[in-house]
Chain A
Amino acid sequence: MADKKIAIIATKGALDWAYPPFILASTAAALGYDARIFFTFYGLQLLRKELDLQVTSLGNPGMPMPIPMPVILQAMPGMQSMMTMMMKKKMRSKGVASIEQLREISMECGVKMIGCQMTVDLFDFAKEDFIEGVEYAGAASFLEFAGSADITLYV
């Protein structure tokens, strides 16, 4: 069991898209997998000490809306933070863990977090803004692990 490996690439910095990598990595670790997440581009937002993740319905016609709303209204100022607030409220009411909570459990369970060094340089991110315990590496390092992984996912 201990030999199984899962390699996940997290590329999105939205609240809803933050869930799949952390849910799968933490559960895999609980099942005895060696789990690693490689955070690249907007995925690096998921490693910030202070998370400010949002959801947007723009370009996402599948998002359930409480009332039907024309896209142009969905683009109005304040809509994104309102939708984020409503989504977080809904998640809490349904017992869905917060990203902070899932991320903390993932770390506790031994999930390895790897930040993409190129993205850090590209956007001039400060590593002090990211949580402790993150390693920084590039494509070859990810592929070395992913090449021997049982499951590889791109989120």
Chain B
Amino acid sequence: MSDVVKELDTSGMSCPMPILRLKQTLGTIESGQRLRVIATDPGSQSDFAAFAAQTGHRLVESQVEGGKFIYVVEKR
């Protein structure tokens, strides 16, 4: 299993910034590497799943921790 190589904190940002920052940050890591993303936007739950479904990047983890949404995305 690959490890998380980078973390992105989008706390406080509203749609569509978490997705745009996710896309930008995925551009800085290699295929197969994982990115951990923190978000506070409740809409990110459906948006991260929709992003993964449409781009082919894999949403490995999606959970809620103390009012924050934590995602792990593996680059395609």
Contact = CB atoms under 8 A, between A and B. Distances in A.
Contact of B20 (A1, A95, A96, A109): A109
Interface stretch (A24-32, A63-71, A128-136): A24-32
A23 B51 contact: no
B23 A30 contact: yes
A109 B26 CA distance: 13
B64 interface: no
Interface string B35-67: 000001100000000010011100000000000
A102 B22 CA distance: 14
Contacts of B29: none
B55 A26 contact: no
Contacts, number: 39
Interface string A96-136: 11000010010011000000000000000000000000000
A102 B19 CA distance: 12
A108 B24 CA distance: 10
In this complex, the interface size class of chain A, counting residues with CB under 8 Å from chain B, is: 10 to 19
Contacts of A30: 16, 19-20, 22-23, 51
A27 B16 contact: yes
B14 A96 contact: yes
Nearest to B10: A95
B19 A32 contact: no
B4 interface: no
Nearest to B50: A31
Interface string A1-42: 100000000000000000000010011001110000000000
Most buried by A among B17, B40, B56: B17
